[in-house]
Structure 1
Amino acid sequence: MLTTPTPNRTHQPHTTSTEPDLETRMALTEAAMTVRLETAALAVDVSTAHILTTPIDLEDIVRVPDAIPEAPVDLYPTPVAALLQRAHQRLLTGGWCKDTLVDEDGARCMLGSIRAEARGDSGLESSAVAVLLDAIRRTFGDDVDSVPSFNDAFARGRVPIRMVDQAAHLADARGL
């Protein structure tokens, strides 16, 4: 009689995956990182324990003027030139901004500084803006639409501030 070997049919029990789920892996990773960070912090504390430090006295570093400087006297005898000079000074001391007349820090755009220095005199303000636009167009061409569009075209205030100063010179030369 011929016997054929029977295959070994041992029953293997169905096992579920022992790999932890995502939440468990994240919790384990967080715990491991916490231990590593605490160990590193302790190592820094131990390594730097011998370094003597003295507190910094901020009065040695930060200097505050004793008095607020007075506003400069108008160098120009004409009202429009003097207004533009004051607007230029305001931009230098108070800061320049774009996309708004006055930003949250108090910095002003070209038009905002003229408006502030005109102190409600709309005729004087209008004359100063006209001279400023003329000075801008003399340097940058007739493509410039307005003072605000010129101001907002720059990322930094160096050129706009310089143009206000040039406009003051132009107004003085015109006797305005």
Structure 2
Amino acid sequence: MSTMTAAPPRLAPAELDLEARLALAGALIDERLALANIAIEVDTAHIPAADPIPDIAAPPILRPARTPEPYSTPIAAVLQRALARLRDVGWCAEHYDDQGAVCLVRAIRTEAGGGTLGGQACQFLLDVIRAEFGPWETVPSWNDAQPGPAVPLRILGQAAEQAAAGGI
């Protein structure tokens, strides 16, 4: 009589829960990262090691000493002082920025020290701007349209020269 032995029962693959799948995926990623690090070390072994980036504080901004006022007329003197202030603290397109830079109008009004002189100097500057750049409504609108400090500083210096030449 022949006896038949039954084959061992086959087990269905076990379903992995979410935690087990995440652990398995994490282990695979760790292995890939380790291999990638080794590959980078091998690929860059011939490059001489550079010094680590030094922790260097920003160098101090050296500002030129204020020049004596070359103009004796009130508006020309205010415009010249405003130009010196902008060179000292920096120019910006808005009223002021986080680093202390100021716009044309703020520099003029600060140097005028109150009163009507600041407004008169701004009006004179607007006239100089309009003569060169066309019909701008205000100094702030023109100032805010400028991409950098070169033209505003140039036009402020030009306005100071014209005011001095006109005895204003």
Q: TM-score of the superposition, structure 2-length normalised?
A: 0.70
Distance across 2 between alignment mates of 1:37 and 1:115: 60
CA deviations 1:115-165 (Å, max 9, x no partner) are 22223x222211210110110011012x21010111111222222221111
Which residue is 1:36 aligned to? 32
> 1:129 and 1:167 mapped to 2: Cα distance?
10
Structure 2's unaligned 5+ residue stretches are: 1-11
2:66 matched residue in structure 1: 71
State the alpha-carbon separation in 2 of the partners of residues 68 and 151 from structure 1. Answer: 22
| Counterpart residue number, 1:166 | 158
Partner of 1:110: 104
The structure-2 alpha-carbon separation of the partners of 1:70 and 1:159, relative to structure 1 and needing over 3 Å to count, comes to closer
**CA distance, structure 2, for counterparts of residue 160 and residue 149 of structure 1:** 12
Aligned partner of 1:12 in structure 2 is none
Aligned pairs, how many? 155
**Structure 1 residues 68, 111: closer, same or farther in 2, change over 3 A?**
closer
1:164 is matched by which residue type in structure 2?
L
**Contact 2:63 2:88 survives alignment (8 Å):** no
Residue from 70, 82, 88 that aligns with 2:83: 88
Aligned CA RMSD, in angstroms, stands at 3.7
Q: 1:29 to 1:105 in 2, by over 3 A?
A: farther
Separation of aligned partners in 1, 2:160 and 2:33: 61
What do the CA deviations read for 1:65-114 (whole angstroms, capped 9, x no partner)?
A: 8x864321111122211211121122223221123x21111111110111
Q: In structure 2, what is the Cα distance between the partners aligned to 1:157 and 1:30?
A: 53
CA change 1:42–1:148 in 2 (3 A) is same
* 1:88–1:165 contact (8 Å) kept in structure 2: yes
1:127 aligns with 2:120: yes
Structure 1 residues 51, 114: closer, same or farther in 2, change over 3 A? same
